[in-house]
Each structure stands twice: as structure tokens, then as C-alpha cells.
Amino acid sequence: MGTLNGKVAIVTGAGSGMGREEAILLAKEGATVVLTDINEAAVQVVAQEITTNGGEAIAFAHNVASEEEWIKVVEDTIKKYSTIDVLVNNAGISLAVNLLDTTMDQWNKVMNINVASVFLGMKHVIPHMKSNNGGSIINISSIAGLTGGSGAGAYTASKGAVRMLSKAAAVDYGKDHIRVNSVHPGFIETPMTTDMVADDRMLAWFLSQTALPRVGQASEVAQAVLFLASDASSYITGIELPVDGGVTAK
Ligand SMILES: NC(=O)c1ccc[n+]([C@@H]2O[C@H](COP(=O)([O-])OP(=O)(O)OC[C@H]3O[C@@H](n4cnc5c(N)ncnc54)[C@H](O)[C@@H]3O)[C@@H](O)[C@H]2O)c1
């Protein structure tokens, strides 16, 4: 019996990297998974992989920065499965640009995709969790949401906002038995970081930052998401959970 049997989970950005691994793991643990991504072809492939392996999954094209599209995803999920127990706000983009070189368009894009997405997801899912007497929300931030990394002011600000938005929601909706936590990945090997991990100098820098002598895998972040989604973490809300090989321990 899976730890998420009977639960319905939405995972955004599930077409690639961590979102893909999170969706696959939650499905393996018995959840019905609603996978969404702006890349419809990619997310359809992941949903197909889950159903081929005996899981229950559906994929939706979804731009997480659009309120209209959030409303549609939530409506379609409720129509099909009647409930939403778990929301993983995972979709995001990176922007390695110095503060002084960041344009207003870049700033707005990062804030819309990384922060407004989390706000909109919670705004439209929490009412259903309230009527369902609870739920678990996991927002994917970054170690950049915990420490002021260099050369990525807008990205760092966006991930800091995700951290505090999660705490604000945890405080307000705890009375409704809704738990909200943020996960803070460090250097994780995904399509977002392929080029950096392949660059020897960049990899050496990553490894100079971690305590464990390696970069992390998307499946290791997925395990943290599973823990926070499941009843194993039933008294945990408002925390920030680094999955970073010890970067922030230094
Ligand atoms: N890889 C890392 O080292 C790392 C570290 C810290 C935090 N993160 C965060 O983890 C999350 C997942 O990152 P990843 O490394 O798996 O990246 P990834 O690029 O492999 O996957 C991101 C997914 O989000 C989707 N996406 C992008 N814009 C979207 C939009 N507007 N609407 C819907 N979907 C959209 C992409 O199509 C893609 O499938 C992101 O929020 C990222 O900021 C990653």
C-alpha cells in the first residue's frame, strides 16, 4: 500500500527534471497525479510513462503565470477527481544575470513564473483543500531563497519570496488542516543545470560549496517532496527544507 493511496496531487513543471521525478514518485506511492507544464508534449510523455507503469495520471498544458490557466487546471481536476489533496508548485525558471544588468522584462518574467505561479496555485487550490478538510502544499524554492547567492538578483528575490509566501500561507491556513512547506534544492542535476554540471570549472565550484562531495539528483528532491506530501510529516508546517548536500550548513 502506497503512502499516498487515494490522494490527488497536482505537480507543476512535471515535464522535466525535478517535477518529472516528483510526479513519478507520488504516483508510485499511490497518488493520482495531475501533471502540468507549459511544454505539453513533454508532460504528456511523463503522464504516459506513469500510466504505462500502472499509475493514474493526466497531463494538462499550463502556463503557471496565467491565472486563467490555473482556474482551468483546478476546475478540470475537480471535475475529474473531485478533490485536490496535494499541490507541488515546482515549475520555475532560472536567470543568471547580475542585478545591474537585469531588465524590467527579465525581472517581471522571473517574478511571474517563479512567484505569481505559487500565489495563484495556492489561491485557487486552497478553497478546495478547505472544503476537503486539509491538504499539503509544497513550494519549490532554492538555496537561493535562503542565502544571497551571487549574480542572480531577480532569481534570488523570487525564491526568497516563495519561502515567505509559504510561511504566510502555513500560518493562515493551519486552522484548516492545510500544511504548507518550502523545499530548497541546492545543485541538482536536471536539464536546468546540464550545461553548468558539464562545465568542469562550474562543477568544481559546486563541489567546493557542498559538504557531500557530489551534486544532487532530482530523485533525491522528490523524496523530500513525498515526505512533505504524506502523513509522515503530519505535524510539520511552515518549514524550509534544504535538499542541498550541506551547502547551507556551511
Ligand atoms: N536544478 C537545480 O539545481 C535547482 C536548484 C534549486 C531550485 N530549483 C528549482 O526547482 C524547480 C524545478 O527545476 P528543474 O531543475 O527541474 O528545471 P527544469 O528546467 O528541468 O524543469 C522546469 C519545468 O518547468 C516548466 N516551466 C517553465 N516555465 C513554465 C511556465 N511558465 N508554466 C509551466 N511550466 C513551466 C518547464 O517546461 C520544465 O518542464 C524550479 O522551480 C527551479 O527554480 C532547481
Read off the C-alpha cell for 73: 487546471
- The residue ranges of every structural domain in the chain are 8-190+219-240
What averages of pLDDT result for each successive group of 10 residues across the chain (250 residues)? 95 98 98 98 98 98 98 98 98 97 98 99 99 98 95 97 98 98 98 94 96 98 98 98 97
Cell of 162: 516563495
Residue 158 burial by Cβ neighbours in a 10 Å radius (0-12, 13-18, 19+): buried
> How far does residue 84's CA lie from ligand 1's centre (Å)?
22
DSSP state of 145: G
Cα of first residue to Cα of last residue in the chain, in angstroms, is 39
Secondary element (H or E) of residue 47: helix 40-52
Confidence at residue 178, expressed as pLDDT on a 0 to 100 scale: 99
Q: Is 155 a catalytic residue?
A: yes
What separation in Å is there between the alpha carbon of 144 and the centre of ligand 1?
Answer: 14
The three-state secondary structure class of 34 is strand
Report residue 8 CA to chain centroid gap: 16
* Cell triple for 171: 500560518
Q: Which residues contact 122 (CB under 8 A, 6 or more apart)?
A: 87, 89, 137, 165, 169, 180
Pocket probe mutation, ligand 1, options 37, 60, 183, max atoms within 8 Å of Cβ: 37
CATH architecture of 8-190+219-240: 3-Layer(aba) Sandwich (3.40)
> Which residue lies with its CA nearest to atom 42 of ligand 1?
92
Task: Tell me how far the alpha carbon of residue 150 lies from the centroid of ligand 1, in angstroms.
Answer: 19
Distance 131 CA to ligand 1 centre (A): 30
Helices (H), 56-134: 67-81, 104-111, 117-131
Task: Please pick, among 81, 155, 173, 235, the residue that the annotation labels catalytic.
Answer: 155
| C-alpha grid cell, residue 192 | 536546468
**In the prediction, which pLDDT does 34 show?**
99
Residue 15 to residues 57, 129, 177, 213, 217, Cα–Cα distance (Å): 13, 25, 30, 28, 16
DSSP class per residue in 123-134: HHHHHHHHHTT-
The Cα 240–Cα 141 span in angstroms is 9
Beta bridge partners of 241: 183
Predicted local confidence at residue 149, as pLDDT: 83
Specify the ligand 1 atom closest to the Cα of 113: 31
Closest Cα to atom 25 of ligand 1: 13
Q: At which residue does the C-alpha cell 544588468 appear?
A: 101
